[in-house]
Homo-oligomer: A and B are copies of this chain.
Amino acid sequence: MNNGDVPDIVIHRLPLYLRALDQMAENGQLVTSSQELGQRLAISSAQIRKDLSHFGEFGKQGTGYDIEFLRAQLRRILQVDESWSMALVGAGALGHALVNYGGFRQRNFHIDAVFDNDATKIGTMMEQLRVEDQRYIPERVRELEIYIGVIAAPASVAQAVADMLVQGGVRAILCYAPITLSLPEDIAVEYIDPLLALQSMTYYIHKRQLIIDN
């Protein structure tokens, strides 16, 4: 991933900027500055200006950024003004939660197919969607022209599932399984794992207690 000239780490901050701008807009705010945005996100104003400068000049000296305009630019850059179709693999508890999660729809992401390998789940309905047999992932994903896969299946099958998604033409995978996937380098992957987050925080809790004890 990342053949281009904009660093990954910059790309990963853009959605953060967009989110803050969305919230400002909701509050009726019209204009902001790199300083205000930075304060809100705990990021330096210089970094925000630098990040944005990779894509163009969106501000005005002396006044800052027009919020509506910058939002539109960021949505265009991230391509989140279009609607995106997603294929979900895994019809368990997590899968259900994801299908029912309104936040995706609200931001133009839609789950349009659900797969599982459990015979007792295949054929059942999840919201409007019939759970399909996992083995048909490649052909169905291609048929539906889906470019984003979401893996909510156990780690043991995650790699196989990922391979099938890629076979179907998926370009990006959001993986909830606790495993590092091995994929062609032109496929984008992101991982969601609350346990990793918890396990790094406990390191810091421990450290603070040590300091107190001394």
Contacts and interface: CB of A to CB of B under 8 A. Distances in A.
Interface of A: 1-4, 11-12, 14-16, 18-20, 23, 40-42, 77-80, 84, 93-94, 96-98, 100-101, 103-104, 107, 109, 147-148, 155, 171-172, 174, 178-180, 182, 186, 188-192, 194-208, 211
Contacts of A147: 205
Nearest to A182: B42
Which A-B residue pairs are the 7 nearest by beta carbons? Answer: A190-B197, A15-B199, A172-B201, A79-B206, A188-B201, A97-B97, A188-B204
B109 A172 contact: no
Contact of A79 (B100, B155, B172, B205): B205
A148 B198 contact: yes
Contacts of A14: 199-200, 203
Contacts of A20: 180
B171 A208 contact: yes
Given A93-B97, A147-B205, A195-B104, A12 B172 contact: no
B199 A78 contact: yes
Each complex incorporates copies of this chain amounting to: 2
A111 to B, nearest CB: 11
A203 B23 contact: no
A38 to B, nearest CB: 11
Contacts of A79: 202-203, 205-206
A31 to B, nearest CB: 20
A204 B172 contact: yes
A199 B18 contact: yes
A210 to B, nearest CB: 9
Given A84-B198, A192-B194, A196-B19, A204 B2 contact: yes
A203 B11 contact: yes
Contact of A80 (B15, B101, B189, B199): B199
B200 A174 contact: no
A197 B202 contact: no
A96 to B, nearest CB: 8
A208 B180 contact: no
